[in-house]
Amino acid sequence: MPFIKVYIHFVWSTKNRIPFLETKEIRQTVWQHMRENAFQKGIHLDFINGYSDHCHCLISMGGEQTMSKTMQLIKGESSFWINKQGLTKQKFEWQDEYFAIAVSESRIDIVRNYIKNQEEHHSRKTFKDEYDGYIEKYKFE
């Protein structure tokens, strides 16, 4: 059995960055459901949080897991569940694209803290600014 410890910081937006997750209560309900769903699917979701129009999560990837399949399982199921529960006024969708950034062991706590403080962070900076910052910092094309 291989020993694997690979952490990925995933970030993705709601479709067209619509602030579907407008209240803290809705967000907490969605994040808790996503934790439970990930656990049931054998995905180690270490930390999750976000804001009204996006989600951040830190996932420890397993040896048989791929990033695209993991995102499909988390985003697809949660979108279906949010609509089934009627948590939003209009049909909920996640954007197809996402960021996936490797996190070294020495930075795990920094990333957890960053994810934890999304409410405060986005009182000063929009998701568009954050998105543009990721494009520049990580040299995404």
Per-residue pLDDT of the chain (141 residues; tens, 9 = 90+): 788 899 999 999 999 999 999 999 999 999 999 999 999 999 999 999 999 999 999 999 999 999 999 999 999 999 999 999 999 999 999 999 999 999 999 999 999 999 999 989 888 888 888 888 888 988 887
Order of all β-strands in the sheet with 44-51: 44-51, 54-61, 6-13, 99-103
Q: How far apart are CA 12 and CA 4, in angstroms?
A: 25
- pLDDT score at 64: 92
Nearest CA-CA partner of 98 in 54, 64, 49: 54
Note if the pTM is more than 0.85: yes
Total number of residues shown for the chain: 141
Domain annotation covers residue 95: yes
- pLDDT score at 65: 95
- pLDDT score at 44: 97
Which residues constitute the domain of residue 65? 6-137
Nearest CA-CA partner of 34 in 48, 51, 19, 14: 48
The total number of structural domains that make up the chain: 1
The CATH number for 43's domain is 3.30.70.1290
Domain annotation covers residue 16: yes
Contacts with 131 (C-beta within 8 Å, 6 or more apart), sequence order: 13
For 82-108, give one letter per residue: b (16+ CB within 10 A) or e: beeeebbeeebbbeeebbbeebeeeeb
Domain annotation covers residue 64: yes
Q: Cβ–Cβ contacts within 10 Å for residue 50, how many? A: 23
Domain annotation covers residue 103: yes
Domain annotation covers residue 1: no
- pLDDT score at 88: 95
Distances (CA, A) of 38 to 35, 59, 132: 5, 10, 28
